């Protein structure tokens, strides 16, 4: 079997088994793989071939992206070998490749306390910026979901998230009443029609806004840290993990939600013991 034939087989497998976002992530990469090896037989591809290909197509990219591409090509070869009963070892299993394209160990992120988040929000310059920050910090929305909101996606206390990260057609997010009221007033004051974006900004603009507000408080912060805070704040106030995962963050796996919650300090643990059993 040639690489070209293998790529077509893998694409057919993906169509019925993976989400749309995954298909998009693989798309261009599979085209590069096919162009590079084309008529080469799968059994003839070596670890050195894979290493040279990955170095070429990930040059200048982040370590996490390099690791992702390695994971994708490994999944490709593993599937082809299993689906076609090839009696070969995957060229991606070489220890040198695993070491070169391994994911860097991340230090645990600092979990922002409510007072810091409140101060960041209150220092925002206008109603638009404050609403964006609150939709992340209070409602758990991703920054891309906030910036992609259209006026027609707002329905009372609910927000319709179009083309969410999960790959579903849409999801529903919920708002506290005071935020839903101010958001409705903002849309009305801006005279937005159903198809208009509520916040017609780009990601870099919001990144600069959030990091700039954090710098004023000597806090390193990104937009996603506000979504992370929404989960931690809910957890520390007794909201069940299932609600945080399925309603607030809209994760498909509870394990993903647990990563968001961060490490519990000794002080926090003692406080909860006192709440549960009395002082």
In the chain, domain spans: 3-100, 114-150+197-277
The H or E element containing residue 74 is helix 63-83
Whole-model pTM: value is 0.62
193: which 2 tokens?
């029609």
Per residue in 185-214, is it b (16+ CB within 10 Å) or e — as a string?
Answer: ebbeeeebeeeeebbebeeeebeebbeebb
Q: What's the Cα-to-Cα distance from 97 to each of 3, 29, 176, rounded to whole Å? A: 20, 17, 48
DSSP conformation class of 184 = H
Query: What was the pLDDT predicted at 28?
Result: 85
Question: For domain 3-100, which CATH number applies: 1.25.40, 3.30.910, 1.10.287, 1.10.150?
Answer: 1.10.150
Give the orientation angle of helix 203-216 with respect to helix 127-137, to 10 degrees. 90
21, 167 contact by CB (below 8 A): yes
Give the orientation angle of helix 177-189 with respect to helix 127-137, to 10 degrees. 150
109, 262 contact by CB (below 8 A): yes
170: which 2 tokens?
């849409």
In a structure prediction context, what are the per-residue pLDDT tens digits for the chain, which is 279 residues long?
Answer: 899 999 999 999 988 787 777 888 888 888 999 899 988 999 999 999 999 999 998 888 888 889 999 999 999 999 999 999 989 999 999 999 988 888 766 555 667 888 999 999 998 879 999 999 999 999 999 999 999 999 999 999 999 999 887 777 889 999 999 999 999 999 999 999 999 999 999 988 999 999 999 898 888 888 999 999 999 889 888 888 889 998 999 988 887 787 777 666 676 677 767 777 765
On the question of a common fold for 3-100 and 114-150+197-277, the answer reads no
Phi and psi, residue 90, nearest 5°: -60, 130
DSSP conformation class of 153 = G
Alpha-carbon distance of 244 to 260, in angstroms, equals 10
Residue 150: strand, helix, or coil: strand
Burial-class residue 119 by CB neighbours within 10 Å (0-12, 13-18, 19+): middle
Alpha-carbon distance of 190 to 69, in angstroms, equals 43
The domain covering 114-150+197-277 belongs, at the CATH homologous superfamily level, to Intergrase catalytic core (1.10.443.10)
- How would you classify the pairing of strands 154-155 and 170-174? unpaired
Query: What was the pLDDT predicted at 45?
Result: 93
> What are residue 41's DSSP bridge partners?
2
The position carrying tokens 């994708």 is: 72
154, 183 contact by CB (below 8 A): yes
Residue 197: strand, helix, or coil: strand
46: which 2 tokens?
């070596």
Question: Residues 207, 210, 215, 219: is their CA dihedral positive or negative?
Answer: negative
Alpha-carbon distance of 114 to 243, in angstroms, equals 20
Length of the chain: 279
């Amino acid at each position: 079997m040639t690489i070209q034939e293998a790529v077509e087989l893998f694409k057919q497998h993906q169509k019925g088994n993976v989400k749309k976002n995954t298909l998009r992530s693989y798309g261009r990469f599979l085209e590069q793989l096919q162009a590079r090896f084309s008529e080469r037989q799968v059994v003839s591809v070596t670890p050195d071939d894979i290493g040279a290909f990955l170095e070429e197509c990930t040059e200048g990219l982040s370590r996490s992206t390099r690791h992702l591409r390695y994971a994708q090509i490994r999944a490709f070869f593993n599937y082809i070998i299993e689906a076609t009963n090839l009696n070969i070892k995957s060229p991606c299993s070489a220890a040198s490749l695993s070491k070169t394209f391994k994911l860097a160990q991340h230090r645990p992120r600092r979990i922002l306390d409510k007072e810091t988040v409140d101060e960041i929000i209150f220092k925002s310059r206008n109603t638009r910026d404050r609403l964006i920050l609150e939709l992340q910090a209070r409602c758990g929305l991703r920054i891309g979901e906030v910036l992609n909101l259209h006026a027609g996606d707002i329905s009372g206390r609910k927000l319709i998230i179009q083309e969410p990260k999960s790959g579903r057609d849409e999801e529903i997010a919920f708002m506290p009443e005071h935020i839903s009221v101010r958001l409705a007033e903002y849309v009305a004051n801006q005279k937005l029609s159903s198809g208009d974006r509520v916040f017609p900004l780009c990601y870099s603009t919001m990144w600069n806004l959030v990091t700039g507000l954090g710098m004023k408080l000597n806090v390193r912060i990104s937009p996603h840290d506000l979504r992370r805070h929404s989960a931690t704040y809910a957890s520390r106030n007794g909201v069940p993990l299932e609600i945080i995962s399925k309603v607030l963050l809209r994760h498909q796996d509870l394990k993903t939600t647990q990563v968001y919650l961060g490490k519990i300090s000794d002080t926090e643990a003692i406080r909860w013991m006192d709440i549960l059993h009395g002082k």
